[in-house]
Structure 1
Amino acid sequence: MDLVIETERLILRPFKLSDAEELFELNKNPNVHKYLWQKPEEIIDESIKVIEYVQRQYAENNIGRYAAILKQTGDFIGWTGIKFVNDHVENGNTNFYDYGYRLNEKFWNKGYATETSKVWLDYGFNKMKIDKMNAYTHSENGASNHILQKVGMKFMEDYPDTNGVTWKWWQMENPDLR
């Protein structure tokens, strides 16, 4: 993919295999995984597989998660972006667009998640003409639940996963297609 998006402070670009070390640093942190269903990664090969999976999504769906790079320093701060979910069922849904992000802990509470959320929702609705954007968060993840609400997503319902963990389902309709 050639698409690169810039925000005031960030460059959002497709993942490269050279991002594997920094992605591994993010994904091995247990604090980052506190509200995720996955276990922290233990070997870098897991991050390489994630990048290869995301690159296949670019080819198959013309969209996927993007590396988020701090303009001022060039630091990889995490990932963000739109994913077309067609490889599993979530809350009874498949074949839907999902917005998500995951940031390195040292970049939490700096407004980056809100900044990227706004630009991706704008891109999804105005460039991709998506009719509905979804997101799902762990019910106890107050920070992410607050961010999604702040950027205009509507809480739809709580739902349990197969392990009995409660998640929140969020949705936003394209304001231009109503």
Structure 2
Amino acid sequence: MVFETPRLILRRFTEADTGLLLQLNSDPEVLKYLHEPLLETEEQAMHVLQNIILPQYKNNLGRWAIHLKTSNEFIGWCGLKYRPELDEIDLGYRLMQQYWGKGYAFEAAKHTVDYGFNQLHLKTITGRAHIENTASLRILGKVGLQFIKEEVVDDCPVKTFMLSK
């Protein structure tokens, strides 16, 4: 476990989680505003785990699996990722559709920002969302990140937010 919130447990993914990642990233609505292809096989999910998610853990960063405390049900991920091409720490979150609109993404993101500043002693956290993803844009603002600019990142038109300690 990385940390817990009032309703959630956030933990590191393992290679045993390929099915969970496949379930999340095979939903076209979940990936609607992202530049990522849908995952269709466990092999593709394993590739994402081994090459994108797990390597971040060596820096105590990463996308962490989110589970409900009440049922231990997997609902998505949230976390901090170092993006070397931009030299920044990126806040990200992704939930399965049935958990949208319940405040889970905000709760996970807020505690992730707090964890980043208070436990990891980060100086700045950046967050981005597609310009049409109003729910995600609202979360970035609610957790305290400030709107900086509109830009195109990873071939997506986004709004960039940032918070410095």
Q: TM-score range by the shorter chain?
A: over 0.9
Alpha-carbon displacement from aligned partner over 1:5-64 (angstroms, at most 9, x marks no partner): 0111111000011211111011000000110011211212111112213212112x2211
Structure 1: distance between partners of 2:113 and 2:153: 26
CA RMSD of aligned residues (A): 1.3
Taking the TM superposition and a 5 Å limit, the aligned residue runs for 1:27-176 are 27-53=25-51, 54-59=53-58, 61-86=59-84, 89=85, 94-161=86-153, 163=155, 165-174=156-165
List runs of 5+ in structure 2 lacking aligned partners: none
Structure 1: distance between partners of 2:102 and 2:141: 17
- Say which one has the larger Rg: 1
Bigger mean CA offset, 96-105 vs 41-50: 41-50
Bigger mean CA offset, 35-44 vs 7-16: 35-44
TM-score (norm 2): 0.94
Alpha-carbon displacement from aligned partner over 1:48-88 (angstroms, at most 9, x marks no partner): 112213212112x22111000111111110110111111xx
Alpha-carbon displacement from aligned partner over 1:111-133 (angstroms, at most 9, x marks no partner): 01110111111111111111110
Identical-residue share of aligned pairs (%): 39
Structure 1: distance between partners of 2:128 and 2:90: 8
Structure 2: distance between partners of 1:161 and 1:123: 25
List runs of 5+ in structure 1 lacking aligned partners: none
Amino acid at match of 2:23: E
- Shift of residue 134, structure 1, vs aligned partner: 0.3
Amino acid at match of 1:57: Q
Q: Report which of the two has the higher share of strand.
A: 2
Structure 2: distance between partners of 1:56 and 1:148: 25
- Secondary structure of the structure 1 residue equivalent to 2:147: strand
- Secondary structure of the structure 2 residue equivalent to 1:67: strand
The list of structure 1 runs, each at least 4 consecutive aligned residues, that deviate by more than 3 angstroms after superposition, is none
- Secondary structure of the structure 1 residue equivalent to 2:57: helix
- Secondary structure of the structure 1 residue equivalent to 2:148: strand
Amino acid at match of 1:8: P
